[in-house]
Amino acid sequence: MRLITLIKIGWRNIWRNKKRSLVVILSIILGLYGGLIISSLMITLNSQRMNTAINTYLADIQIHNKEFSKEYSLSDTISNIHYLEEKLKNDNRVKSYSKRTVINGMLSNSTGSYGVNVLGIDPEFEIKVTNVYTKIIEGDYFESKRENTMVVGKKLADKLDLRLRSKVVITFQDVNGDITSLLFRIEGIFKSGNSMFDDYNVFVKNNSIFSNLPDLNGYHEIPILTINDDVTESLKLDLQKINNTLDVKFWGDIAVELAYANKMMSSFLYIFMLIVLSGLSFGIINTMLMAILERKKEIGMLMSIGMSKNYIFLMICLETVFLSLVAIPFSVLITYITIDYFSVSGIDLSIVGSGLENFGIGTILYLKLPSEYYFNLSLLVILISFISSMFPAIRALKINPAEATKSI
Amino acid sequence: MIETKELKKTYKQGSLKVKAVDNVNLKISDGEFTAIVGPSGSGKTTLLNCIGGLDNPTSGKVIIDGELISSYSSNQMIKFRLNNIGFVFQSYNLIPVLTAKENIEMVMLMQGYNKKDMEKRSSDLLNEVGMGDMSKRRPSELSGGQQQRVAVARSLASKPKFILADEPTANLDSKSTAKLLDIMSRLNKQEKITFVFSTHDQRVIDRARRVVTLEDGKIIKDIKK
């Protein structure tokens, strides 16, 4: 028997009871649509969280002195930095880089004290690597000609009641191990979209650091942006070869939890979809069982006239798979339209904005969904439909043709 | 030739054992036009089911052209039915989603006919039963008599050794019954196709050339006209 005949019978059979088939098709459409949109939301949330971290601080690659990575001692600066800079300038995989001094200290004012990470930067280089300058909500990003100015996060500013031009004192252990205090004025307040980052990190100019700490003779951190993700790994390996005192790290090695969440995301989504679609499969099984009970006589007749069990099994499976094949294009289409729309206009989640910011996610979500998800989840639906068809198909094989036809 | 030897079929109804077919010995030669008659519950249908391999006998043998089909496995039996037996059902049992022509072709597709031969044969068969101009109609667009004629054409499609028909005229009016019997009678005489009916329709009994009467699962009369 030709497969085309079975396909023809299967296809026509699903339209015998249009209302029932349409209910199943609609449930598959909504199930897949829901799954794809939730996948898109999760991927967008995750990537926004990742991008916020990369864009505000991490960059693609960071270089430190190996010792600095262990102890965070101010004296452990990056050696031979001029040679390194020369390499970075001449490497076409490097989009931009910056140089930072990093000091762990205590920030105090009349309201209280708080442990912070002071990032000394050269603003003209830093703006090519990170985007904190675009997140300023009050004041400026180092436009003042004054020395010893500081840009702080909104959350820290709220905690210590900091305002523009407020005075703060940073206390830390200097290169010689002596406790040193430096006075700064608040020049700007930023809100990066990650409240944890805003709570802990403050920016000052490298000049301010070097003029106050003459014994500090170098930088602690070089953040690098690459031209694209594909070259990051090779650049990291090449930079590592330059000098064995360097600790060259991919952003995922620094923010391990972010990289891990990113890796886990797709597995989690597929498991989630499997659970959603498993629920859907019960609806499919129920519908197909009803269809088979209705057509018991017909199936009995087919067995009587010599249709093999394999063909009957295949016919039932095909009918079930057809239901999903009808539903999938509609699901994919409406998902594509939805995601396309919200990729531009965004979904405003400001109502839960503070909660999202705690996780480093902005309040506007610009949906996106990689094309492989459309393909893989559609395949998953077909697979689930096929598995769902097994039970009704096995049930059909148990039909006794003599009883089913009630006569010969 | 169809032959049954000491054929028995017993059903359980609760704790009771019902002998639907009781020690039936029957020989039906090629080219016969035989009616198996009897009151309801006499075992007509069960006997045909056992002959057609749709039901397994409790004991005894069913031998067709020397082959002991009562010992066949389920899959062997399906294959045997496809190539050797044509069925005509009381309620036609055509596939509602296929046209008259496609219903006939389906059997040939199962047998592996090529498209050209299949189309020619299905057209010939439809013409044979007087349904040539309705080949593209679906069962819902045909009357009961027309559907049964398509069912007869379908039963012939596989070139079977014999055709088993269970009360084929039970749902038909007298005009359709006469037409159907004319067709089957002609096929029997011209094509030498063996027909075995179960029926209690006097019009069929009148046209049959052999009448086997069953009562309580036993043959009580076997008259050759």
Angle at which helices A256-294 and A18-53 cross, to 10° = 180
Residues of B in contact with A15 (CB under 8 A): 97
Residues of B in contact with A315 (CB under 8 A): none
Please tell me whether residues A173 and A78 are part of one structural domain: yes
Q: Distance (Å, rounded) from C-alpha B114 to C-alpha B104?
A: 14
Q: Of A200, A234, A255, which closes a domain? A: A255
Give residue B131's Cα distance to chain centre. 20
CA distance A400 to chain B (A): 8
Mapping DSSP to helix (H, G, I), strand (E, B) and coil, where does residue A167 land? strand
pLDDT digits (tens, 9 = 90+) for A327-343: 999 999 999 999 999 99
Q: What average pLDDT score do residues A75-88 get?
A: 91
Q: Of A225, A255, A285, which closes a domain? A: A255
Please tell me whether residues A100 and A47 are part of one structural domain: no
pLDDT digits (tens, 9 = 90+) for B25-61: 999 999 999 999 999 889 999 999 999 998 889 999 9
A49 within 8 A of A43, measured Cβ to Cβ: no
CA distance A27 to chain B (A): 25
**H-type alpha helices, chain B:** 44-51, 74-84, 100-111, 115-128, 144-157, 174-191, 202-207
Please tell me whether residues A282 and A381 are part of one structural domain: yes
CB contact under 8 Å between A305 and B48, yes or no, is no
pLDDT score recorded for residue B187: 85
pLDDT score recorded for residue A20: 85
**Amino acid making up residue B207:** R
Closest to B47 in 3D by CA, of B93, B92, B8, B78: B8
CB contact under 8 Å between A12 and B97, yes or no, is yes
How many other β-carbons are positioned within 10 Å of the β-carbon of residue A228? 9
Measure Cα distances from A291 to A345, B95, B114, B208 in Å. 44, 14, 31, 39
CB contact under 8 Å between B109 and A2, yes or no, is yes
CB contact under 8 Å between B97 and A5, yes or no, is no
Measure Cα distances from A401 to A306, B48, B64 in Å. 10, 13, 20
* Residue A279, C-beta contacts closer than 8 angstroms, at least 6 positions apart: A31
**Per-residue pLDDT at A294 exceeds 80:** yes
Please tell me whether residues A79 and A137 are part of one structural domain: yes
pLDDT score recorded for residue A408: 43
Residues of A in contact with B82 (CB under 8 A): 305-307
A41 within 8 A of A352, measured Cβ to Cβ: no
Please tell me whether residues A18 and A69 are part of one structural domain: no
CA distance B102 to chain A (A): 9
Please tell me whether residues A68 and A31 are part of one structural domain: no
Mapping DSSP to helix (H, G, I), strand (E, B) and coil, where does residue A19 land? helix
**Per-residue pLDDT at A96 exceeds 70:** yes
Expressed as residue numbers, the domain containing A96 is: 58-255
pLDDT band at A264, cuts 50/70/90? confident
Please tell me whether residues A271 and A234 are part of one structural domain: no
Half-sphere exposure of B135 (CA within 13 A, CB side): 17
Q: Of A255, A279, A309, which closes a domain? A: A255
B198 at A interface, C-beta within 8 A: yes
Angle at which helices B100-111 and B144-157 cross, to 10° = 20
Q: Distance (Å, rounded) from C-alpha B179 to C-alpha B182?
A: 5
Q: Distance (Å, rounded) from C-alpha A361 to C-alpha A365?
A: 9
pLDDT band at A349, cuts 50/70/90? confident
Out of A303, A406, A408, whose CB is closest to B78? A303
Give residue A51's Cα distance to chain centre. 8
pLDDT digits (tens, 9 = 90+) for B117-173: 989 999 999 998 889 899 999 999 999 989 999 998 999 898 898 999 998 888 888
Touching A: B residues 89-108, CB under 8 Å = 89-91, 93, 95-98, 102, 106-107
Q: Distance (Å, rounded) from C-alpha A127 to C-alpha A97?
A: 10
Q: Work out how many CB contacts closer than 8 A connect A with B.
A: 91
pLDDT digits (tens, 9 = 90+) for A364-400: 889 999 999 999 999 999 999 999 999 999 999 998 8
Q: Distance (Å, rounded) from C-alpha A184 to C-alpha A202?
A: 11
pLDDT band at A1, cuts 50/70/90? low
ipTM field: 0.86
Q: Which residue has the higher pLDDT, A361 or A280?
A: A280
**Amino acid making up residue A31:** G
Kindly calculate the radius of gyration of chain B based on its CA atoms and give it in whole angstroms.
17
The residue whose two tokens read 């205090």 is A181
Q: What is the mean pLDDT of chain A?
A: 89
pLDDT digits (tens, 9 = 90+) for B80-119: 999 999 999 888 889 888 899 999 998 888 888 888 998 9
Please tell me whether residues A45 and A188 are part of one structural domain: no
CB contact under 8 Å between B81 and A308, yes or no, is no
Residues of A in contact with B81 (CB under 8 A): 304-306
Q: Quick one: what percent of chain A has pLDDT higher than 70?
A: 98
Domain extents for chain B?
2-224
Closest to A191 in 3D by CA, of A150, A152, A162: A152
DSSP-based helix, strand, coil % in chain A, nearest 5? 60, 20, 25
Least confident residue range of A79-83, A348-352, B4-8, B197-201 = A348-352
pLDDT digits (tens, 9 = 90+) for A215-257: 898 999 999 999 998 999 999 999 999 888 899 999 888 888 8
Least confident residue range of A191-195, A403-407, B94-98 = A403-407
- Looking at domain B2-224, does it have CATH number 3.40.50.300? yes
Please tell me whether residues A86 and A219 are part of one structural domain: yes
CA angle A280, A281, A282 (to 5 degrees): 90
A33 within 8 A of A337, measured Cβ to Cβ: no
CA distance A286 to chain B (A): 22
A301 at B interface, C-beta within 8 A: yes
Give residue A6's Cα distance to chain centre. 44
CB contact under 8 Å between B45 and A306, yes or no, is no
Please tell me whether residues A304 and A267 are part of one structural domain: yes
Q: Distance (Å, rounded) from C-alpha B198 to C-alpha B34?
A: 9
Q: Would you state the structure tokens that stand for residue A37, as one six-digit string? A: 């949109």
Dmax (CA) for chain B in angstroms is 55
Please tell me whether residues A223 and A117 are part of one structural domain: yes
pLDDT digits (tens, 9 = 90+) for A38-61: 999 989 988 888 888 888 888 999
Mutate to test the interface with A, among B2, B44, B48, B87 (most CBs of A within 10 A): B87
How many other β-carbons are positioned within 10 Å of the β-carbon of residue A305? 24
CB contact under 8 Å between A1 and B165, yes or no, is no
CA distance B159 to chain A (A): 12
CA distance A291 to chain B (A): 14
Touching A: B residues 129-158, CB under 8 Å = 154-155, 158
Please tell me whether residues A218 and A79 are part of one structural domain: yes
A402 at B interface, C-beta within 8 A: yes
Query: Considering the entire predicted model, what is its pTM?
Result: 0.73
